Amino acid sequence: MCLFVVGCDKKPAMNPMAMMMAQEVPVRTVAVRTSDVPLEVNAVGNVEAQSSVDVKSRVAGQMLHVYFQEGQEVKAGELLFEIDPEPLQRQIAQTQADLAKDAALEQQARANVARDEAQLKQSKSSADRALELQKEGIFSKEQTEQLVATNAAAEASLDADRAAVSSSLASEKSDRARLGQTELQLGYTKIVAPITGRAGAIAVKPGNLVKDNDVALVTLLQITPIDVSFGVPEELLAEIQKFNAAHPLEIEASSGGVTSTGKLVFIDNSVDATTGTIKLKARFENAAHALWPGQFVDVKARLNMERDRVVVPSRTVQSGPQGKFVWVVDGSSVQIRPVNVERIFKSNQGGEISVISSGVKPGETVISEGQMRLIPGAKVKILPGGVA
């Protein structure tokens, strides 16, 4: 019996890493390029009315008229409310009558003074003559004393009438002061807008009783122009101060797809220790009322325009244990290249762009899609729409 042994050749199993390197990985690429890059600060801001006034009544009374509507734009000096003026008008009439009475009493007192002065002159002359005649023995002591007493009474009467004149003058001065105060309060019955702005909800209606300096009748907010406050990291303060000193920084505020442009008008005098930010404020004309008090908006401040910076789309930049890196196409394979991302900004097309300070050069090609299947040295197949 013959036995034939037939041997079978077996191919050695391929290393998985080698298999991955042997396969072409489909990717899309973009070119590293240079571009002018805006140096911008992005933050979330809060819209604030430039002025806010609670309109209150300075006199008590019944509300007579309301001359505007809720939500209406009003101008400074425009009549808003009118309180019933009749009680104050009656007080004015009464005070004017008191003034007329004061004038009559003063006139009477002055007439009495004139009469007393004449009588005093006569009585003094009689008393002086009586004293001389008494010395000569012509007048008795009793007659002389009577004439002297009459003279003294005339002096007292004159003093009393002069006091009456002073009293009537003081009464007139008091009544005039009271009249001025009442006329001032009468002016307060017409309440006008202290600023130009937009009216809020009206707290009272015609017929309601109001108290002086009580609840606000309406709140006015000045919204043209309007302010937006926002915070930026304290590290940016020096740059902001530098560029703002050259010219007021242009600030953009966006919400709901609408963008408004304003100017930086305020840098706070201290850094918030709890957040490490400093408060800034920009002013916007807001003629179209795109910004509204209390609204949150996206704020962008352009500090400068940097020329010829190396940039790549942010989607090409990956994160690893050693930091940021990109996949660079080297012939038909790829290699990992560490990069230093200085900052990120949004392009006019809406995509995020990374500014690279080191790691790649203009003209090199980096992977923008398909990075998850790559290993160093892997072969790649560039899909249509390749280098951009």
Note the pLDDT tens digit of each residue in 254-286: 998 899 999 999 999 999 999 899 999 999 999
Note the pLDDT tens digit of each residue in 360-376: 999 999 999 988 888 88
Single pTM value for the model: 0.64
Residue 342's pLDDT band, with cuts at 50, 70 and 90, is: confident
Which of 259, 216, 204, 176 shows the shortest CA–CA distance to 62? 204
Mean pLDDT of 124-130: 70
Residue type, 154: A
Contact 299, 42 (CB under 8 A): yes
Residue 61 pLDDT > 80: yes
Contact 32, 363 (CB under 8 A): yes
End-to-end, the C-alpha distance of the chain in Å comes to 75
The angle subtended at Cα 120 by Cα 114 and Cα 125, nearest 5°, is 135
Contacts of 36 (CB under 8 A, 6+ apart): 305, 306, 307, 308, 309
